């Protein structure tokens, strides 16, 4: 595992991490960068997967019902309050499912609603493609190198729910560009550094800055074998009574 940009996560405030999702192997990569006091939001279906579900529950993961909008909104609202109260960091895979294709799937907006509601920054993380050494479809798992790139934070302070669609697409495009560059480097066998993020719409990035700033101007799933992380337990309203 090669980690780049992990220094971006060295802040004391709460924040939301969004990461591309390729396979259960992602958990091994996240162990390399996941900060203290961080908990993932996962689909509620995992709760019913035998010992995996028990491990997720006992480690304090937040379960969300993706098929019931009202329940999902309630979980997001409760999590936003808990983040501020307990200085919590939250990890979400915004693609919503595993994806080993060359491009990212459209992002679900839950992570971005959460960040805006809590008024906390977003840290995008991109894990390089596994294709060179791992493929569940082809039953391949050999040795290889995986690069984990932590991008500069995206500020949400001052944004409102109506900014969420543009915020979502801005973060997705930034991550997709980095993933495409990683794929190109793998194909070419190159080890060049990941380039600086380009200016995307109303996103502003400076080489001397550690912040990817978002501004809006007005007017105009196999989960077997996963290793539970040492995460803090949250209040029981997130996952029902024990």
Residue 167 in any domain: the answer is yes
Q: Which residues of the chain have pLDDT under 70?
A: 24-26, 59, 98, 132, 135-136, 138, 188-242
Q: Phi first, then psi: give them for residue 35, nearest 5 degrees.
A: -80, 175
Residue 24 in any domain: the answer is yes
pLDDT digits (tens, 9 = 90+) for 178-202: 999 988 887 766 444 444 444 344 4
pLDDT at res. 222: 41
Number of domains in the chain: 1
List the CATH number of the domain containing 85.
3.40.1130.10
Residue 242 in any domain: the answer is no
Rounded Cα distance, 185 and 121, in Å: 29
Rounded Cα distance, 15 and 95, in Å: 19
Residue 80 in any domain: the answer is yes
Residue 241 in any domain: the answer is no
Domain hosting residue 95, numbered range: 2-236
Rounded Cα distance, 168 and 231, in Å: 27
pLDDT digits (tens, 9 = 90+) for 201-231: 444 444 444 445 544 434 334 434 443 434 4
SS (H, E, C) 34-76: CCCCEEEEEEHHHHHCHHHHHHHHHCCCEEECCCCHHHHHHHH
Q: What is the pTM assigned to this prediction?
A: 0.71
150 sits in which H/E element: strand 147-150
Sign of CA dihedral 201, 205, 213, 115: positive
Rounded Cα distance, 207 and 197, in Å: 9
Residue 142 in any domain: the answer is yes
């Amino acid at each position: 595992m090669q980690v780049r940009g992990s220094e971006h996560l060295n802040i004391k405030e709460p924040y939301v991490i969004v990461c591309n999702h390729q396979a259960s192997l992602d958990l091994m990569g996240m162990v390399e960068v996941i900060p203290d006091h961080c908990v993932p939001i996962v689909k509620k279906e995992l709760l019913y997967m035998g010992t995996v579900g028990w491990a997720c529950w006992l480690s304090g993961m937040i379960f969300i019902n993706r098929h019931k909008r009202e329940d999902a909104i309630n979980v997001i609202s409760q999590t936003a309050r808990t983040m501020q109260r307990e200085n919590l960091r939250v990890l979400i895979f915004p693609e919503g499912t595993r994806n080993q294709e060359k491009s990212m799937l459209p992002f679900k907006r839950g992570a971005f609603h959460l960040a805006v509601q809590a008024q906390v920054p977003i840290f995008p993380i991109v894990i390089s493609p596994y294709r060179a050494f791992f493929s569940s479809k082809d039953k391949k798992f050999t040795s290889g190198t995986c690069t984990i790139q932590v991008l500069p934070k995206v500020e949400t302070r001052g944004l409102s729910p109506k900014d969420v669609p543009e915020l979502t697409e801005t973060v997705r495009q930034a991550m997709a560009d980095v993933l495409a560059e990683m794929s190109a480097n793998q194909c070419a066998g190159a080890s060049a550094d990941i380039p600086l993020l380009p200016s995307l719409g109303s996103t502003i990035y400076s080489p001397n800055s550690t912040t990817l700033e978002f501004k809006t101007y007005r007017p105009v799933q196999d989960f077997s074998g996963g290793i539970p992380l040492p995460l803090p337990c949250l209040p029981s309203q997130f996952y029902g009574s024990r």
